[in-house]
C-alpha cells in the first residue's frame, strides 16, 4: 500500500515527525518498506498565465507566448507544446531556475526570437515519465505562487508491506485509524452526505450466486460531461499512490479504492443489455478484459454479466466491451462485497494481479459498499456533473459475515504479554480500535468491527493490545526453565565450512528447485523413478529430483547461454527416493565445472578443466571430515557419465557418491560445447569424521630415493600406493608420483610410473644400507603383487 504522507495527515495529524510516524507504523505491524519524495528537487518555478499565443515567424512547431508570472511585466517565452493556449495557467521556470537533471534555465534565442524562461511539462518537473504537452494548472491557481508550494510537492510517499491478515489497512481510512489509535489523535475523514437521487431511474440486478456475492449495490448516473477532466489534485494523489489518471470515472473509482478500501467499477450504461446478473461463468463463455487479453472463463469463476454476456470478472477486472470511453455520458457504478474464498486464487489462474483482487482476497468490509458508492457519486458529480438515480441493492444477509464476540480474560493478557495492562488501558485500546466491549466477571466479551476479519480468538485480541501498548514498552524477561546446551562433536562434518572451501576454490553456490523435468530426470538418473507431483507448477517441474545434477545442469546451461564460459557451481540439498512406497529424502552435496581450469590471465596458458581438477576439489571437501584416507575412487559406469571417466566414490569400501565427465550423448542433448564434470556425494557418509591425532616430528633427516616401474596401464595409482606403503610402513613417510609415461620404449597396454620414496626414522639417521633394503623390498613386493618391472 503506497500513499502520500500529506494525504494521510489530512485524515489524522499527530504531533510527530515523518520518521517517528514511519517507526510507529512498523512497530504496529504495518512494516514500512520505502519512503521517497513525491517529486525531485527543483526551484524557481511559479504559477503563470498565458496571455497571448502567436506563431513563431521561422518555425512551424514553435509558439511565441506572452506570459504573466506575477511581476506585472509579461515575459516572452518560446514554447513548442501543442496544447499551449491563451488563458491557461501553467508552471513556468524563470531565468535562473534549476530543474531536475541539474538543468539551469537561461535567456535564449530560438530561431532568432528571444525566450525568457520555460513553460514546463509534467515530465520536465519530474512528475511523470511521459507527457504530451505542458502541464495545465487549475483556473484558480494564484499567479506568481511557487509551484512547489502550490502543488505541495515537499511531501513523501510511504509504502507499507501490509500482511495478508490486515486487509483493513489497504486504504487511507484504515491507516489513519491505526495512526489515530497509536497517537490518541482524532481521525477526521472527508465529510460527505448521501447524494439524493434524481428520479427513479434504476438498473435491474439479479444475484444468482449469493454465497459468493452477498451484497451488490449499483447506481445509474446520467448526463456526464464527456469533456470533463480529472482535477489536478486528484491526479496528484493517484500518482503519489502509484496510479495514473485514465478517465474521470476510472480515476474516481481508483480514488475511492485508495481512500476507503472499496474496489469499484464503472460501466458504460449504453453498452449493457437490460440487467446485471452476478453469477458463475457458463461453459464455453469468454471475456475480453480491459487490458486487451481474452480469457476462457472457468466454471468456478464469478462474473458480472448483463442479459447477454459476461461484462466483468468479478472482483478482478472489468471487460473491455463495457468500458467507459471519452464519449461516455451515462454510467452504471457498482460496489460489491465478494466473499474472499470466491476470489482467492482466481486472478492468478488467469495470470492477473489487480488492486481489486488483492483486496477482495484478503477481505473487504461488508458494510462499506453503500458508503463508497455515495462517495464516488459525490466526487463524480463534482468533476463531470450528471444526475444520479437511486441506489439499487441486492443483499443476502444470511451470507454476509457476522462478527461473533470473542472472550478475553484479564489473566491471559498478562500471561501472554509478560506485562500487566490495567483494565482501563485494555478497554481504551480496544474501544479506540473500533471494538465493542461488554464487561464480564474476569474480562470482556469483545465484538470486533466489520472490517477486522483477523480477529477470531482471544490471542488475536491480546496481539492488538500488545502492538498498541507498544512492544518497546514490554520489558525483556529471561526464561526460568532449565536450559542445556549441546555442542557438536569435534568430528562432526561442518557443511558450512565445506561450502566455504568450495567458494575459496572459485565455486558459486546455487539453489535450484526440488522439482525437475521428468525428461531430464530420466536422462540423468533412469534407475530411480521420480516422484510425481499432484499439482505441479508446470510440466517442466512435475517430479521430485532423485539427484542434484539436473538442477546444476540447467543452471550451467543457462549461464553458458549468457556467455559465461567458465562455470563452477555447487549445491547442497535433498534428493527424494521412493522406496517401497515410502518417500525417503537424503542430504547431498553436488558440484559441476566446465570451461577453463583457471580464469583468463597472462601468467598461464588456457587449459580446459579436467577430471582431476574436480577430484582435487572433492578431496579438499572430504578432507574436512578427517577421513581422506578412507575415501577411494573405483572405476564404474553411470548412464549420465562418460564410460572412461566415471568413478564410484567409496568410503571404507561403501559407495557414497559419483564423480565423472558428463556423457557425450547427454552433453550434446543439453547443448554444451565443452566437457562437463560433476560429482555428487551423500552428506550422511561424511557426518562422522576422524579426530586428528598428534604425532611427534622426527629429529633425523629424511632420505629420498626415486624409482620408475612399468605396470599394466589399467592399474590404479591407489593400488600401487597401498602396495608400496605396505612394504615399509614404519619408515616410508611419503610417496610422490612425479611422472607418468606411455611413449616410445613402453609396450602397448603398459605405463611407466616414477615414484619418489621419502624415508625417515624416528630414532636414528638411516644408513644407505637400510635405505637400499627398503627400496629392494618395495621393488620385490611390486613385482610379486602387481607384476611391476623396474624400468631401466
Residue 139 Cα distances to 124, 153, 219, angstroms: 21, 19, 31
Strand duo 654-662 + 641-651: pairing: antiparallel
pLDDT digits (tens, 9 = 90+) for 92-123: 999 999 999 889 999 988 888 999 999 999 99
C-alpha cell at position 310: 459476461
Contacts of 694 (CB under 8 A, 6+ apart): none
Residue 693 predicted with pLDDT over 90: no
Distance of CA 120 to the CA centre of its chain: 37
Please tell me the distance from the alpha carbon of residue 82 to that of residue 255, in angstroms, as a whole number.
29
- Establish how many alpha carbons lie within 13 A of residue 759's alpha carbon, considering only the half-sphere containing its beta carbon: 23
pLDDT digits (tens, 9 = 90+) for 733-780: 889 999 999 888 888 889 999 999 999 988 889 898 989 998 999 999
DSSP H or E stretch at residue 759: strand 750-759
Residues 505 and 610 in one domain: yes
Residue 685 predicted with pLDDT over 90: no
188, part of any domain: no
604, part of any domain: yes
Please tell me the distance from the alpha carbon of residue 114 to that of residue 50, in angstroms, as a whole number.
17
**What confidence score (pLDDT) does residue 556 get?**
94
Residues 428 and 315 in one domain: no
Please tell me the distance from the alpha carbon of residue 121 to that of residue 127, in angstroms, as a whole number.
9
Residues 247 and 371 in one domain: yes
Residue 721: strand, helix, or coil: helix
Residues 143 and 100 in one domain: yes
Residue 312 predicted with pLDDT over 80: yes
Please tell me the distance from the alpha carbon of residue 149 to that of residue 266, in angstroms, as a whole number.
34
Percent of the chain with pLDDT over 90: 68
695, part of any domain: no
Domain end among 355, 380, 399: 399
Tell me if 640 sits within 8 A of 524, measured CB to CB. yes
C-alpha Rg value of the chain to the nearest Å: 39
Please tell me the distance from the alpha carbon of residue 792 to that of residue 305, in angstroms, as a whole number.
97
Task: Output phi, psi for 576, to 5 deg.
Answer: -130, 130
C-alpha cell at position 552: 546444476
Residues 327 and 345 in one domain: yes
Please tell me the distance from the alpha carbon of residue 547 to that of residue 588, in angstroms, as a whole number.
8
Report the predicted TM-score, pTM, of the whole model to 2 decimal places: 0.65
**What confidence score (pLDDT) does residue 488 get?**
67
DSSP string, 280-294: EPPTT-EEEBTTS-E
Residue that is written with C-alpha cell 537533471 in the block: 101
Tell me if 702 sits within 8 A of 770, measured CB to CB. no
DSSP string, 178-231: HHHHHHT---------PPPPSS-----EEES-TTT-SEEEEEEEE---TT----
Please tell me the distance from the alpha carbon of residue 511 to that of residue 140, in angstroms, as a whole number.
59
Residue 490 predicted with pLDDT over 70: no
**What confidence score (pLDDT) does residue 365 get?**
94
Taking 3-state DSSP, the helix, strand and coil percentages for the chain, each rounded to the nearest 5, stand at 30, 30, 45
**What confidence score (pLDDT) does residue 748 get?**
86
Work out the angle at residue 461's Cα, subtended by the Cα atoms of residues 455 and 464, and round it to the nearest 5 degrees.
100
Domain end among 659, 686, 713: 686
Closest CA to 622 of 487, 488, 508, 497: 497
Residues 166 and 142 in one domain: no
In 100-155, which ranges are E strands? 103-104, 108-110, 113-115, 118-119
527, part of any domain: yes
Residue that is written with C-alpha cell 507504523 in the block: 25
Contacts of 483 (CB under 8 A, 6+ apart): none
603, part of any domain: yes
Residue 229 Cα distances to 86, 251, 253, 326, 382, angstroms: 19, 10, 14, 10, 11
Give the CATH number, domain containing residue 782: 3.30.70.380
C-alpha cell at position 118: 520555460
Please tell me the distance from the alpha carbon of residue 457 to that of residue 278, in angstroms, as a whole number.
33
**What confidence score (pLDDT) does residue 483 get?**
62
pLDDT digits (tens, 9 = 90+) for 429-451: 999 999 999 999 999 999 999 99
195, part of any domain: no
Mean pLDDT of 259-266: 96
**What confidence score (pLDDT) does residue 479 get?**
64
Query: How does the average pLDDT of the chain come out, rounded?
Result: 91
Strand-pair partners of 492: 688
DSSP H or E stretch at residue 590: strand 582-594
Give the CATH number, domain containing residue 271: 3.50.40.10
Phi-psi region of 516 (alpha: psi -120 to 50; beta: other; left: phi over 0): beta
478, part of any domain: no
pLDDT digits (tens, 9 = 90+) for 379-417: 999 999 999 999 999 999 999 998 889 999 999 998 898
Tell me if 306 sits within 8 A of 218, measured CB to CB. no
Closest CA to 559 of 672, 391, 702: 672
Tell me if 674 sits within 8 A of 687, measured CB to CB. no
C-alpha cell at position 45: 518555478
Residue that is written with C-alpha cell 552433453 in the block: 667
DSSP 743: S
Domain end among 424, 441, 473: 473
Name which of 473-487, 536-550, 672-686 the model is least confident about: 473-487
Strand duo 108-110 + 676-682: pairing: unpaired
Stated length of the chain: 792
Residues 588 and 510 in one domain: yes
Contacts of 637 (CB under 8 A, 6+ apart): 643, 646
Phi-psi region of 126 (alpha: psi -120 to 50; beta: other; left: phi over 0): left
DSSP H or E stretch at residue 156: strand 156-161
Give the CATH number, domain containing residue 179: 3.30.56.10
Closest CA to 88 of 110, 59, 56, 63: 63
Tell me if 175 sits within 8 A of 22, measured CB to CB. no
DSSP string, 400-442: SPP---EEEEHHHHHHHHSS---HHHHHHHHHHTT-EEEE-SS
Closest CA to 411 of 403, 399, 420: 420
Query: pLDDT-derived band of residue 324, with 50, 70 and 90 as boundaries?
Result: very high
pLDDT digits (tens, 9 = 90+) for 554-603: 999 999 988 888 999 999 999 998 887 788 899 999 999 999 988 888 88
End-to-end CA distance of the chain: 84
Query: What is the sign, positive or negative, of the torsion defined by CA atoms of 147, 150, 151, 156?
Result: positive
Query: pLDDT-derived band of residue 480, with 50, 70 and 90 as boundaries?
Result: low
Dihedral through CA 543, CA 545, CA 546, CA 547, nearest 10? Answer: 150
The residue segments making up the domain with residue 569 are 495-686
Please tell me the distance from the alpha carbon of residue 165 to that of residue 361, in angstroms, as a whole number.
10
Residues 253 and 393 in one domain: yes
Residues 250 and 225 in one domain: yes
DSSP H or E stretch at residue 544: strand 543-544
Tell me if 217 sits within 8 A of 400, measured CB to CB. no
pLDDT digits (tens, 9 = 90+) for 143-186: 999 999 999 999 999 999 999 889 999 999 999 999 999 999 99
Phi-psi region of 137 (alpha: psi -120 to 50; beta: other; left: phi over 0): beta
- Establish how many alpha carbons lie within 13 A of residue 552's alpha carbon, considering only the half-sphere containing its beta carbon: 28
Residue 66 predicted with pLDDT over 90: yes
User: Domain count of the chain?
Assistant: 6
Please tell me the distance from the alpha carbon of residue 285 to that of residue 304, in angstroms, as a whole number.
12
**What confidence score (pLDDT) does residue 696 get?**
83
Give the CATH number, domain containing residue 72: 2.40.50.140
Residues 761 and 709 in one domain: yes
DSSP 315: T
Residue 491 predicted with pLDDT over 70: no
pLDDT digits (tens, 9 = 90+) for 190-236: 888 899 999 889 999 999 999 999 999 999 999 999 999 999 999 99
DSSP H or E stretch at residue 649: strand 641-651
Residue 764: strand, helix, or coil: coil
Residues 527 and 663 in one domain: yes
196, part of any domain: no
Residue that is written with C-alpha cell 620414496 in the block: 757
Residues 416 and 446 in one domain: yes
Please tell me the distance from the alpha carbon of residue 654 to that of residue 686, in angstroms, as a whole number.
12
DSSP H or E stretch at residue 3: strand 2-4
Residue that is written with C-alpha cell 459476461 in the block: 310
Amino acid at each position: 500500500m503506497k500513499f502520500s504522507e500529506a494525504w494521510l495527515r489530512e485524515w489524522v495529524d499527530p504531533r510527530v515527525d515523518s520518521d517517528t510516524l514511519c517507526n510507529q507504523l512498523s512497530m504496529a505491524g504495518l512494516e514500512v518498506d520505502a519512503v521517497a519524495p513525491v517529486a525531485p528537487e527543483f526551484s524557481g518555478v511559479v504559477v503563470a498565465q498565458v496571455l497571448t499565443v502567436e506563431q513563431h515567424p521561422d518555425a512551424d512547431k514553435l509558439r511565441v507566448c506572452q506570459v504573466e508570472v506575477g511581476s506585472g511585466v509579461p515575459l516572452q517565452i518560446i514554447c513548442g507544446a501543442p496544447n499551449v493556449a491563451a488563458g491557461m495557467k501553467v508552471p513556468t521556470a524563470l531565468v535562473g531556475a534549476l530543474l531536475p537533471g541539474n538543468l539551469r534555465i537561461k535567456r535564449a534565442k530560438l530561431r532568432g526570437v528571444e525566450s525568457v524562461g520555460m513553460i514546463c511539462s509534467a515530465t520536465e518537473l519530474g512528475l511523470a515519465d511521459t507527457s504530451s504537452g505542458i502541464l495545465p494548472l487549475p483556473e484558480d491557481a494564484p499567479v506568481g505562487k511557487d509551484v512547489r508550494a502550490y502543488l505541495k510537492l515537499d511531501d513523501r510517499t510511504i509504502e507499507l508491506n501490509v500482511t495478508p491478515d490486515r486487509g483493513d489497512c489497504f486504504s487511507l481510512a484504515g491507516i489513519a485509524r491505526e495512526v489515530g489509535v497509536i497517537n490518541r489523535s482524532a481521525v477526521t475523514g472527508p465529510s460527505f452526505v448521501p447524494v439524493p437521487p434524481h428520479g427513479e431511474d434504476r438498473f435491474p440486478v439479479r444475484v444468482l450466486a449469493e454465497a459468493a456475492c452477498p451484497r451488490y449495490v449499483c447506481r445509474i448516473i446520467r448526463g456526464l460531461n464527456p469533456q470533463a477532466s480529472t482535477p489536478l489534485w486528484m491526479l496528484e494523489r493517484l500518482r503519489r499512490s502509484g496510479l495514473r489518471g485514465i478517465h474521470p470515472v476510472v480515476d474516481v473509482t481508483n480514488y475511492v479504492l485508495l481512500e476507503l478500501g472499496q474496489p469499484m467499477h464503472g460501466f458504460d450504461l449504453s453498452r449493457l443489455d437490460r440487467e446485471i446478473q452476478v453469477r458463475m461463468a457458463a461453459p464455453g463463455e469468454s471475456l475480453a478484459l480491459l487490458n486487451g487479453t481474452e480469457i476462457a472463463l472457468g466454471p468456478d469463476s464469478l462474473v458480472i454479466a448483463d442479459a447477454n454476456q459476461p461484462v466483468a470478472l468479478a472482483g478482478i477486472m472489468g471487460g473491455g466491451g463495457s468500458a467507459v470511453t471519452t464519449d461516455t455520458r451515462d454510467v452504471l457504478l457498482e460496489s460489491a462485497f465478494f466473499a474472499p474464498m470466491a476470489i482467492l486464487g482466481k486472478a492468478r489462474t488467469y495470470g492477473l494481479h489487480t488492486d481489486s483482487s488483492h483486496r477482495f482476497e484478503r477481505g473487504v468490509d461488508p458494510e462499506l459498499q453503500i458508503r463508497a458508492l455515495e462517495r464516488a457519486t459525490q466526487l463524480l458529480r463534482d468533476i463531470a456533473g450528471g444526475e444520479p438515480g437511486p441506489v439499487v441493492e441486492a443483499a443476502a444477509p444470511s451470507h454476509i459475515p457476522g462478527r461473533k464476540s470473542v472472550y478475553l480474560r484479564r489473566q491471559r493478557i498478562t500471561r501472554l504479554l509478560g506485562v500487566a495492562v490495567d483494565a482501563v488501558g485494555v478497554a481504551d485500546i480496544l474501544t479506540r480500535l473500533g471494538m465493542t466491549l461488554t464487561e464480564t466477571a474476569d474480562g470482556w466479551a469483545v465484538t470486533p468491527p466489520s472490517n477486522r476479519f483477523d480477529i477470531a480468538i482471544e490471542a488475536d485480541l491480546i496481539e492488538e493490545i500488545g502492538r498498541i501498548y507498544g512492544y518497546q514498552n514490554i520489558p525483556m524477561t529471561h526464561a526460568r526453565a532449565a536450559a542445556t546446551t549441546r555442542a557438536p562433536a569435534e568430528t562432526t562434518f561442518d557443511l558450512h565450512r565445506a561450502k566455504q572451501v568450495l567458494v575459496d576454490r572459485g565455486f558459486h553456490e546455487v539453489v535450484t528447485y526440488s522439482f525437475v523435468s521428468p525428461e531430464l530426470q530420466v536422462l540423468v538418473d533412469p534407475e530411480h523413478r521420480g516422484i510425481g507431483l499432484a499439482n505441479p507448477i508446470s510440466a517442466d517441474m512435475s517430479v521430485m529430483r532423485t539427484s542434484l545434477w539436473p538442477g546444476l545442469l540447467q543452471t550451467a546451461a543457462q549461464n553458458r547461454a549468457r556467455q559465461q564460459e567458465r562455470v563452477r557451481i555447487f549445491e547442497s540439498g535433498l534428493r527424494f527416493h521412493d522406496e517401497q512406497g515410502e518417500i525417503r529424502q537424503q542430504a547431498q552435496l553436488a558440484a559441476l565445472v566446465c570451461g577453463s581450469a583457471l580464469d583468463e590471465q597472462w601468467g598461464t596458458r588456457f587449459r580446459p578443466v579436467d577430471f582431476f581438477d574436480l577430484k582435487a576439489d572433492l578431496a579438499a571437501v572430504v578432507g574436512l571430515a578427517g577421513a581422506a584416507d578412507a575415501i577411494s575412487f573405483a572405476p564404474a559406469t553411470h548412464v549420465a557419465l562418460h564410460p572412461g571417466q566415471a568413478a564410484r566414490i567409496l568410503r571404507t569400501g561403501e559407495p557414497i557418491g559419483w564423480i565423472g565427465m558428463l556423457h557425450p550423448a547427454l552433453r550434446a542433448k543439453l547443448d554444451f560445447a565443452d566437457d562437463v564434470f560433476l560429482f555428487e556425494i551423500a552428506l550422511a557418509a561424511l557426518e562422522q569424521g576422524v579426530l586428528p591425532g598428534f604425532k611427534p616430528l622426527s629429529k633425523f633427516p629424511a632420505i629420498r630415493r626415486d624409482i620408475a616401474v612399468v605396470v599394466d596401464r589399467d592399474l590404479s595409482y591407489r593400488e600401487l600406493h597401498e602396495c608400496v606403503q605396505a612394504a615399509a610402513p614404519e619408515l616410508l613417510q611419503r610417496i610422490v608420483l612425479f611422472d607418468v609415461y606411455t611413449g616410445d620404449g613402453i609396450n602397448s597396454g603398459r605405463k611407466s610410473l616414477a615414484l619418489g620414496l621419502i624415508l625417515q626414522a624416528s630414532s636414528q639417521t638411516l644408513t644407505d644400507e637400510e635405505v637400499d633394503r627398503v627400496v629392494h623390498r618395495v621393488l620385490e613386493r611390486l613385482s610379486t603383487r602387481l607384476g611391476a618391472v623396474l624400468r631401466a
